[in-house]
Amino acid sequence: MPRNRVLPLLSLLLCLALPGRAPAAPGAEILPDPSLSIGLAAIRDRALAPVDFDALAFDGLRALALIDPAVAAMREGGGRIGLSYGGRPLALFPPPPANDAAGWALLIQAAAQDLAPISPPLRAAGLERVRTVVFDAMLGHLDRFSRYAPPSEAVRRRQARDGFGGIGVLCRPTPDDVTLMGVLPGAPADRAHLRAGDHILAVNGTALAGLDSDQVSALMRGPVHSPVALTVRAADRQQARVITLTRDHILPPTATLSDWRDGIATIALTGFSDGTDTELAAILDDLARHPGPGLKMTRGLILDLRGNPGGLLDHAVAVASLLLGRGRVTSTRGRHPASQQTWNAHGPALAAGLPLVVLVDGGSASAAEILASALQDSGRAVLVGTNSYGKGTVQYLQPLPNGGELALTWSRYYSPSGYPLHDLGVLPQVCTAGALNQPDRALDRIAAAPDAPRRLLADWRDSRLEQSQARHGLRRLCPAENHQGNALDPLVARRLLDDPALYRRLLAPAPTSFP
């Protein structure tokens, strides 16, 4: 018979009681895991839609079976929660009070600790594995964008957003060493005259032969201003040398000037991180000072957002400010009061009056779609390409004491004209879907029906979130495709900028009022 667990949940004690097995030491108090309880509370309070939290938490408890299939949890009479192993009853727990995140966290910990002495998989798994399966099971019932990142993954995500202490190299491990594929301009490696093709044999005396990318990164990265010794062999030499570099704050560039000719500049944005708007401002400023006609005399600017997965919303808004000056960028709406916000461009515009074409494709997502829709809805830019991804939800980042983090969907983005981006995306005025290597075909469509883009865009803006079938039909009008690196869209954009009358005709009129 199982033994009832009737102690208060704030001081749950181990009481393993199976025939032929001694119970765990009585009085061994379970120390609450703050990461589990804080994560459960975030799911309860901030999920986009109302949730049956107790049912969701029970599914998290049942997920222990993913670690050991012999584990089973079931509802018993009086709301009690039964735990069994291999079909043999183990324990009964009193139900936590309704919506009690801390109580459910303690219950899940108590269950895992009760099972550990008799379940080798659970004993080997440890608390972090328990957290992962519990969070994954709960978030899996919400949406495909909510996720839990354990500490190692969370560190990588934070470094991508905020930068890290390093030397500024792109490298490829080989069986014998590490080969440099690129060096970030101005970074410590660049100042030390390292170049693509050079080989790094060791870091601080540790040989790199046979190590994978994560292991190499862990050795090269460290606190900003800390020294790191590299054993380096230049690409054109046989002799290795040891050099000492001082790590700096490294933020991988996300804005690059990819083309500048015939009075048209093309700038590619690969994401939105802590430095994206600063990088873009520097490029625009440099173009304005460029020998020759200068930025204000150019024929246009092409902003390439193809393959851009998004990133930090506030920096996407800052980019919009550089191109818009003033105006609505996006609004967000969710269940939690703090998720209901409006984001406006705050200027000053650095490219005011310059014709602007934005390239989008099926890989343009999230913050990239916000920027594209803001530039389109304001009448600032013409979009060229295919439907974007349609990722119109906001993830609330909940850092956890263990170093992990929850990314929890808690609101939706709305364009300035009022349509929800989720599962719809943005519609380019000039659709290049299905026109690969046929630039004339995309513009011929416009010539054959010059008013069609505005009519389609009006239908796009009128669509509502609940009209899923109609929205899917709209997306089929210009199917999302991967055009990243394809020469078609920039060529179409250039031809469009060569025809100012057509460009002006395709500009979408700005909404007269905001919803």
Query: Residue 215 is part of a domain; what is its CATH number?
Result: 2.30.42.10
Domain count, the chain: 3
> Is the domain of 187 the same as that of 273?
no
For residue 275, give both structure tokens: 């430095």
Lowest mean pLDDT among 42-56, 135-149, 263-277, 498-512: 498-512
Which residue range forms the structural domain that includes residue 235?
164-250
- CATH number, position 387: 3.90.226.10
Active site residue 296: no
In a domain, 398, yes or no: no
Confidence band of 435 (pLDDT split at 50, 70, 90): confident
- Write the burial class of residue 205 (CB in 10 Å: 0-12 exposed, 13-18 middle, 19+ buried): exposed
Which one of the listed residues 68, 100, 277, 377 is annotated catalytic?
Answer: 377
Same domain? For 246 and 259 the reply is no
Query: Distance between CA atoms of 297 and 116, rounded to whole angstroms?
Result: 72
- The string of pLDDT tens digits covering residues 385-404 is 999 999 999 899 999 999 99
- The residues, any chain, with a CB within 8 Å of residue 487's CB and separated by 6 or more, are none
Q: Which of 13-27, 100-114, 160-174, 380-394 has the lowest mean pLDDT?
A: 13-27
Flag whether pLDDT at 3 surpasses 50.
Answer: no
Cβ atoms of residues 53 and 99 within 8 Å: yes
For residue 138, is it within any domain?
yes
Asked if 308 and 364 sit in the same domain, the reply is yes
Output DSSP code: residue 187: S
Q: pLDDT confidence of 23, banded at 50, 70, 90? A: very low
**Vertex 514: Cα angle to 511 and 515 (nearest 5):** 125
Same domain, yes or no, for 124 and 216? no
Residue 86 in tokens: 């291999």
- Which residue in 366, 373, 378, 388 is the catalytic one? 366
Residues 137 and 168 in one domain: no
Final residue of a domain: which of 228, 250, 272? 250
CA–CA distances in Å: residue 433 to residues 381, 428, 438, 446, 455:
19, 10, 10, 13, 18
Q: Which of 391, 411, 415, 417 is catalytic?
A: 391
Higher pLDDT, 43 or 288: 43
Residue 147 lies in a domain: no
Rounded-to-integer distance, Cα 232 and Cα 135, Å? 44
- Looking at the fold, whether 121 and 241 belong to one and the same domain comes out as no
